[in-house]
Structure 1
Amino acid sequence: MIEQLGLLLISLLANGLSAMAGGGAGLLQLPVLLFLGLSFSTALSTHKIASVALGIGATLRHMREKTLNLKFCLFILAAGLPGVVLGGIIILQLPERLTILSLGILTTGLGLYSVFKPQLGLQHQPRNRHLSGMLTGGAVLCFIGILNGSLTSGTGLFVTLWLIRWFGLDYKTSVAYVLVLVGLFWNGSGAITVAVQQPPQWDWLPALLIGAVIGAYTGSHIALSKGNKVIKRLFETLTILIGLKLIWDALLLF
């Protein structure tokens, strides 16, 4: 009972923060699963399935706002899903320390980039919606999809910043797209791909799923009630913390 309650609380906190910042639930959730004794592959499979509930909780809240453009949603899915499946196939075949170190450096860089761009993402100014802009944006989304399928945390934050930097979305709108599309569809595809190769810890999933739905819904509600500046600061804080944590984890593996 204590174990299940702990899993529920960790899931609430991790997914609540992720819903407010636009990604990063794995920062807390995956290390806890490893600490409780799961192997990396089992913990990864369990985390990826549980992370789908982040998308469910966020979708329940953001759909009420009706701010998402259907064509742009389909574009993000078409660009990213092939990469997610490919990443899910290769993750369990690769050495993890170099990929974790690389992801940590890149994630920290995202946060610092946003810090040093004070006006980034504060206004919604759509751009690069012509053919070449969409192709370039889609190629990067596909690459991020590979990272999403193959790595454990932080890749939703990559999508958040890319939608802001390349397509001109503000933080609030970008987070909405990420939580619904990455949280539900990208994570769902990655979860199926990994779970087929490595079964999750089934008896831990109910607590993780319940915590994720409630945490994501609550975090999304808080994010929608706050302005872009607050979300920007949360994004920057979470990306830098996740990046430093991943770098530390990678160094311990050497």
Structure 2
Amino acid sequence: MEMWLMTAASLLAGFVDAIVGGGGLILVPALFAAFPGAPPATLLGTNKSASIWGTAASAAQFSQRVQMRWGALWPAALAGFCGALAGAWGVTQFPGDFLRRALPAILLAVLLYTLARKDMGRHHAPRFTGRAETLAACSIGLGIGVYDGFFGPGTGSFLVFLFVRWMGYDFLNASASAKVINVLTNGAALLLLALKGHVWWHYGLAMAVANVAGSLIGTRVALRHGAGFVRIVFMAVVSALILKTAYDAFLK
């Protein structure tokens, strides 16, 4: 029964995550509900073992239809990988309670700003070129990588928002670019958790197949409907993140 539940949750998570990130909103709670007595690190590791493949499949599919700016994205992805490793180390040294309580307010600010700027992310007009673009993308990759390794919720949404607001991308190109960085940040977390034995590979394999299937469907939907649709899904996911993180921080 648990295998079927996890497979269905992974399929839906892959679909949502491919469009704008936020698949963890679906899959992580499903894992915790199905296995309430399991170590949290094991459930998070199993989540990463599935979601990384869906994110990679989505990135590959986007790259065939969207003009990816690889000269900036590969260094940014590597910076994200290093940042995630540093963040994962940091979480073993410092408590994350302050970030848990601040996160709902940060996400709310992102949502309100996006709502106020109705044209933001509708047109693709990159602000940087050459070395300046690489440095800006690496700053995003490193900063969000550290956050993903240290805490994690909303990583995809933060990547999309920064690529839109700072880099001048539209929501479709921002989502495609975010996938490349997110593959490497997820890879860093998965590497650490797997080395410590915190992955259920027998569940992870079935969930990975479902996540890839959901991701491929979600990517096609995003490509078909364009930046305006991705913007709407982005606001819906951020709204759900605000509710989830506020509940975890103040009511749980």
Same fold by TM (over 0.5)? yes
1:63 to partner: Cα distance: 2.9
Q: 1:68 to 1:135 in 2, by over 3 A?
A: closer
**Structure 1 partner of 2:27:** 29
Q: 1:124 to 1:148 in 2, by over 3 A?
A: same
Contact kept, 8 Å, 1:108 with 1:241, in 2: the verdict is no
Report the Cα distance in structure 1 between the residues aligned to 2:96 and 2:201, rounded to whole angstroms: 24
> Structure 2: 5+ residue runs without aligned partners?
none
1:157 to partner: Cα distance: 0.9
The one-letter code of the counterpart of 1:169 is Y
The one-letter code of the counterpart of 1:53 is W
1:8 to partner: Cα distance: 0.9
Report the Cα distance in structure 1 between the residues aligned to 2:185 and 2:159, rounded to whole angstroms: 11
**Structure 2 partner of 1:116:** 116
Matches within 5 A, 1:13-52: 13-21=12-20, 23-36=21-34, 37=36, 38-52=38-52
The one-letter code of the counterpart of 2:193 is V
1:75 to partner: Cα distance: 2.9
**Structure 1 partner of 2:209:** 210
Q: Secondary structure at the match of 1:214?
A: helix
**Structure 1 partner of 2:234:** 235
CA deviation vs aligned residue, 1:17-66 (integer Å, no higher than 9, x gap): 11112x11111111111122222221111112222112222034223215
**Structure 1 partner of 2:54:** 54
**Structure 2 partner of 1:75:** 75
**Structure 1 partner of 2:105:** 105
Corresponding position: 1:146 with 2:146: yes
Report the Cα distance in structure 2 between the residues aligned to 1:133 and 1:65, rounded to whole angstroms: 21
Corresponding position: 1:173 with 2:173: yes
Report the Cα distance in structure 2 between the residues aligned to 1:34 and 1:94, rounded to whole angstroms: 24
**Structure 2 partner of 1:3:** 2
The one-letter code of the counterpart of 1:148 is D
Q: State, as a whole percentage, how many aligned pairs show the same letter.
A: 24
1:87 to partner: Cα distance: 1.3
**Structure 1 partner of 2:90:** 90
Q: Secondary structure at the match of 2:118?
A: coil
Corresponding position: 1:164 with 2:164: yes
Corresponding position: 1:247 with 2:250: no
The one-letter code of the counterpart of 1:27 is L
1:198 to partner: Cα distance: 4.7
1:217 to partner: Cα distance: 0.8
**Structure 1 partner of 2:155:** 155
Contact kept, 8 Å, 1:108 with 1:244, in 2: the verdict is no
CA deviation vs aligned residue, 1:129-173 (integer Å, no higher than 9, x gap): 365675455334311111112224311111111011111111111
The one-letter code of the counterpart of 2:144 is I
**Structure 2 partner of 1:185:** 184
Report the Cα distance in structure 2 between the residues aligned to 1:222 and 1:201, rounded to whole angstroms: 31
Contact kept, 8 Å, 1:112 with 1:236, in 2: the verdict is no
The one-letter code of the counterpart of 1:5 is W
Higher mean displacement: 36-45 or 169-178: 36-45
Aligned residues: 250
Q: Secondary structure at the match of 2:126?
A: coil
Q: TM-score, structure 1 length as denominator? A: 0.89
The one-letter code of the counterpart of 1:73 is L
Contact kept, 8 Å, 2:79 with 2:141, in 1: the verdict is yes
Higher mean displacement: 53-62 or 214-223: 53-62
Q: 1:239 to 1:172 in 2, by over 3 A?
A: same
Q: 1:93 to 1:41 in 2, by over 3 A?
A: farther
